[in-house]
Chains A and B, each alone.
Chain A
C-alpha cells in the first residue's frame, strides 16, 4: 500500500517542547494509590471461596480423596448441573434401566454413594483411564430391554471434548479457545476416520471415549442415525451452525467463465481420471480451459488462492474440488470405505503452476494486492470468501459454478457446489447434565466466531437471523433429531 504521502506528514516534536514537558513531568508527583475499601462484590467472592473450600474439605473428610484431581475439579460442575436439573436427567436414563427405585445421589460423581459405583464393572481392556468414572448403560437396545447386561463405559471425559471432522476443525478450535480461555479444559480432537458420530452415540464401547460434542462439515447420515438408535443411544440434538463456502472471481473487465464443478476439479486436481479410462488416474495434463471443455476459451488455467498447504488453502481446495470429484461415481464411493484415498484424489491440488498459492486470506495490503492482480490478469481466477468478494465487487465479478452463485438460499439448499454446512451434534443427556454443552453450543451461533481469529473464520458464513433464532429455539428445547 503506497502510503508515503501520509507517513511524510509526521514530524518530530520541537526538542524544547519535549524537554520542558519532561521537566514538568519529572517535577510532578504521582498521585498516591488509595487503599481500596472492601466492596460488596469482593466480600461475596471471598464468602463463596470460603464456603467452597469448606464444602470441599467436608467432602474430603467424609468420602476421602477423589480418584483424580480432574474428577475433583469436575465435581462442583456436576453438582451444579444436578442442582439445575434437579438431579433428574443426568443419570436418570442410565439408572432407570438398572433399578428405577434407587435414588440418585445429590453429589459429585466421584463420591462413593454415586449410583454408578453400585455395579462395579470389570476394568475395561480398552484401558479407560483411571480417572474415568464408570456408569451403567445398556450396551444395546436389546440389552436395555433386558435391563440386566451392563457394560462399563466412561461417563464423560475428564475435560470437555469436541470431536471435529477435518472441515469443521478450525471453528471447533476457535470455540475451544473461546470457552476454555486458553486453559485447555476444552479439548478438540480431529476425527480423520469419520467415526465421531459413532463415538458420540457410544459405539465402540467399552473403553471408548464419548465426546461431549461433535462438529461435522456434513449432516449425519440416516445410517449413522439409525445405528445410534439401534445401539440405545440417547437422543441427539442437531444444531446447524453455519456454512463454509468459497467462490471464484475474475476481474470485472474479463467477464466470467461458464465452469462446472467437474471443470474445476479437472483444472486443479493433481491427478485426474484418464478421459479414455476413467477408472485410472493420470497426472493432470490440462494447460488451457479449452482442453477440458471445447466451449471454454483458449486461456491458460490460472487460479490464485491461498497457499495449498495452509489451512485456508486446504479448505478452499476441498470445497472447490470435492464437488467435481464426486461427479465420478467410483471416486465418490471411496468415501464410504477408503476415506484417505478419497481425500488424496479429491483434495490434492496440482503443483505445476496452474494453481498459484499467493492469494490473500486476511484483509489488508495482501488482499488488495491479490485483487489488483486479478484485475490486471485477464486469465486469472481468484479464490475468495464471500465477505472478501463483497469488499471488491466493484472491480471483480463472481464466477458461478454450475451456473449457481453462492447466496443464503443456494448455501442452505446445498445447491452451490463449493459450499457446505456445518453441524453440531450433542447428546440430549449431555446437554442437560453438562453445564458447558449448551453454553458452547449457543456460542457457535454467536457472531464471535466470525470475528478474525487467525484463520478460524476463513470461508465461514453465518446463518441469517431467522435461522439462528430457529437453531437457538431448538437448543433451548433440546429438540430431538429425527430421520
Chain B
C-alpha cells in the first residue's frame, strides 16, 4: 500500500500534504489509474487522455487534499471516477461507449487488433452488466484496489463487494472459458 512507502511508520492520516512524496505516489498510482480506465472503458483509446485529466485535476488541487477525510489514493480514484462518469455521459449522447467495441466496419489495423484482444473480450462480456458491476471489476482488477478502498469509493459494504465480485468472477470465468464449468477450472 502506498502509505507505507510514502512515509514509513505513519498512516496517511497523519501525513501533511507537504510531506507527501509526490513522485512515489505518481509511480504507484499512475499505472493503477491507467488500468482502471482500460477496464472501465474496455478499450485503449482515450485511456491516456482520461488518466492525464485525472492526474492534472488531482495535482492542480492537491493543496486542497483533505488528509483528514480520506487516503490520497481514495481521493485520487474518486477524481478518476468523476472523470470517467463525465466522459461516459458525454460519449453516450453520441454513441453508447460499450457499444463502441462492437463497431468494426472500416477500423484501422490497430483497432482490429484491439478488438481481438483480451480487453475487448472482457468488454464484450461485461457490456450487458450494470454500471456498478463494471465499476467493481475496474476498481478491483484494473486499479488493484482492496475491497476496503472499493467500499469507501462505492458506498457498498466490504462484504457486499466480496460477494458481488465473487459472483461476477464466477460468471465471467465460465463465459471466458467458453462454458467450461468454473469447478473444472
Contact = CB atoms under 8 A, between A and B. Distances in A.
Interface in A410-438: none
Interface string B115-128: 00011001000000
Contacts of A13: 30-31, 34-35, 48, 51
A21 B159 contact: no
A285 to B, nearest CB: 36
B63 A9 contact: no
B118 A31 contact: no
Central interface residue in A5, A6, A11, by most chain B CB within 10 Å: A6
A451 interface: yes
A2 B185 contact: yes
B166 interface: yes
B122 to A, nearest CB: 6
Contact of A24 (B52, B119, B166): B52
B162 interface: yes
Contact of B60 (A21, A31, A391): A31
A28 B182 CA distance: 49
Contacts of B182: 2
B159 A452 contact: yes
A296 interface: no
B16 interface: no
A10 to B, nearest CB: 5
A444 B159 CA distance: 20
Contacts of B31: 12-13, 18
B173 interface: yes
Given A6-B122, A24-B52, A451-B157, A33 B64 contact: yes
Interface string A363-405: 1110110001000000000000000000100000000000000
Contacts of A5: 118, 172-173, 176-177
Contact of B61 (A3, A31, A365, A451): A31
B166 A30 contact: no
A1 B185 contact: no
Contacts of B165: 364
Nearest to A2: B185
A5 B119 CA distance: 10
Contacts of A32: 63
Given A18-B30, A21-B55, A452-B159, A31 B173 contact: no
A17 B34 CA distance: 10
Contacts of A277: none
A226 interface: no
Central interface residue in B119, B158, B159, by most chain A CB within 10 Å: B159
Contacts of B166: 1, 363-365, 367-368
B163 A391 contact: yes
B141 A31 contact: no
A6 B171 CA distance: 12
Contacts of A365: 162, 166
Interface string B146-174: 01000000000111101101100110110
A44 interface: no
Nearest to A1: B169
A28 B60 contact: yes
Contact of A31 (B34, B52, B64): B64
Q: Is the interface of A mostly helix, strand, loop or mixed?
A: loop
A3 B141 contact: yes
Interface string A162-191: 000000000000000000000000000000
Interface residues of B, number: 43
Contacts of B30: 13, 18, 21-22
A3 B169 contact: yes
B62 interface: yes
A7 interface: yes
B59 A30 contact: yes
A362 B163 CA distance: 9
Given A18-B30, A363-B166, A372-B183, A9 B141 contact: yes
A13 B31 CA distance: 6
B64 A363 contact: no
B62 A363 contact: no
A25 interface: yes
A8 interface: yes
A2 B141 CA distance: 13
A28 B173 contact: no
A25 B55 CA distance: 8
B118 A9 contact: yes
Contact of B56 (A3, A10, A25, A362): A25
B35 A10 contact: yes
Nearest to A32: B63
Contacts of B84: none
A364 B163 contact: yes
A8 B141 CA distance: 9
Contacts of A2: 169, 173, 182, 185
A25 B61 CA distance: 12
Central interface residue in B38, B62, B141, B182, by most chain A CB within 10 Å: B141
A344 to B, nearest CB: 33
Given A25-B59, A31-B64, A364 B141 contact: no
Nearest to B143: A10
Interface of A: 1-3, 5-14, 17-18, 21-22, 24-25, 28, 30-33, 362-365, 367-368, 372, 391, 451-452
7 contacts: A1-B166, A2-B173, A3-B169, A17-B51, A18-B31, A21-B30, A32-B63
Given A10-B142, A451-B157, 17 more contacts: A5-B177, A6-B172, A10-B35, A10-B39, A10-B141, A11-B38, A13-B31, A13-B34, A13-B35, A17-B48, A24-B52, A28-B60, A30-B63, A364-B162, A364-B163, A372-B183, A391-B163
Interface of B: 26, 30-31, 34-35, 38-39, 48, 51-52, 55-56, 59-64, 118-119, 122, 137, 141-142, 144, 147, 157-160, 162-163, 165-166, 169-170, 172-173, 176-177, 182-183, 185
The 10 closest A-B pairs by CB, nearest first: A364-B162, A363-B162, A363-B163, A452-B159, A363-B159, A13-B34, A6-B141, A25-B59, A33-B63, A30-B63
